[in-house]
Amino acid sequence: MNKLETQLQDALAKRFGSAVDVPADLPGLDSLLRIVEQSSQRRWADTAVPPELTRLLAACALCAPTKSYLQQADIVDVRDTAQRAALTALTPSMPWLADAPALLVFCGNGRRFKRLFERAGQAFSNDHLDSFFNATVDASLVMMNFINAAAAVGLVSCPISLLRNQADKLAQILALPERVVPVAGLCIGYPAAPTALNPRLPLAATFHTDRIGAVDDDPAVDDFDARYIAARAEQSGGAAPPRAWSTERLHQYSASQRDDWGRFVRAQGFDLR
């Protein structure tokens, strides 16, 4: 077993709590290892990300697969100082967002597709929930492509869904037209320090063959909670008693979040039938 195979197996075991076989002599191990070791970053080196690099990565990202070749994703590279300040003000609980060398917002764009019908003088017969879903999936694929492209050139990133908490203000700041909705922000920069790998739910809970069925997730969650506590304790050096993943998520979502999102999406012109 070569060094890359060993590193990949070790990283996968740390993520999922059990071994994942890596076939011998498999090509592309360096790319797979980069994906497995990807972690959200919130501390940045004092190094700028040039606009031309961001544009290059955006071009790479927009080569992602797209539903029916509709190309319903847009990327906003927020460079203006006043706009950055306005976005930062939407997320006061994330002061590190202001320090990120670059900030982008990925949007689902259902406007261009509908406009094709308007130009042709035809009725738009697909004005329903699937149109919104397709646009948001396109944007999500592009964002993941951007994350991988950024990692390939040594950048780290952190997706920001919290920007949607004030979707109306966000839309105003970005001048989003009708049928364009923000999916997530993304901070990018060069890392100030390495980040630890966070564990993931075991593959037995999240990877299925042929069908899912009536799966009992409780044992997998209990196992994951134990690994999560151990990982957090190691990362903090015992500075604070860690809580279980399930406990943290219950606390995080004990109050309703973004319960006006449907209203915002409908106001942007999407029919969610």
SS3 228: helix
**Residues of CATH 3.40.109.10 domain(s) within the chain?**
51-195+256-267
Q: Can you give the pLDDT at residue 124?
A: 95
| DSSP letter, residue 180 | E
Tokens of 225: 């909670």
DSSP string, 7-45: HHHHHHHHHHSS-----TT-TTHHHHHHHHT------B-
Spelled out in words, what is the top-level CATH class assigned to the domain 51-195+256-267? alpha beta
- Residue 135 pLDDT exceeds 80: yes
| pLDDT interval class at 148 (50, 70, 90) | very high
What pTM, to 2 d.p., does this model score? 0.94
Helix (H) or strand (E) holding 204: helix 203-206
- Residue 223 pLDDT exceeds 90: yes
Bridge partners (DSSP) listed for residue 76: 105
From residue 195, alpha-carbon distances to 66, 157, 160, 186 in Å are 32, 11, 18, 17
Q: Can you give the pLDDT at residue 32?
A: 96
DSSP string, 46-104: S----HHHHHHHHHHHTTS--GGG---EEEEEE--HHHHHHHHHT-TT-THHHH-SEEE
Nearest Cα to Cα of residue 85 among 173, 171, 177, 164: 173
Torsion angle defined by CA atoms of residues 194, 17, 201 and 219, in that order, rounded to the nearest 10 degrees: -150
The rounded distance, in Å, linking the Cα atoms of 145 and 135 is 15
- Average pLDDT (42-55) is 95
Q: Can you give the pLDDT at residue 96?
A: 86
Nearest Cα to Cα of residue 18 among 200, 149, 144: 200
The rounded distance, in Å, linking the Cα atoms of 11 and 38 is 10
| pLDDT interval class at 176 (50, 70, 90) | very high
Percent of residues, the chain, with pLDDT higher than 70 = 100
Q: Can you give the pLDDT at residue 215?
A: 80
CB 152 within 8 Å of CB 32: no
| pLDDT interval class at 214 (50, 70, 90) | confident
Mean of pLDDT over the chain:
94
Contacts 24+ apart (CB under 8 A), 220-223: 221/245, 221/246, 223/17
| pLDDT interval class at 193 (50, 70, 90) | confident
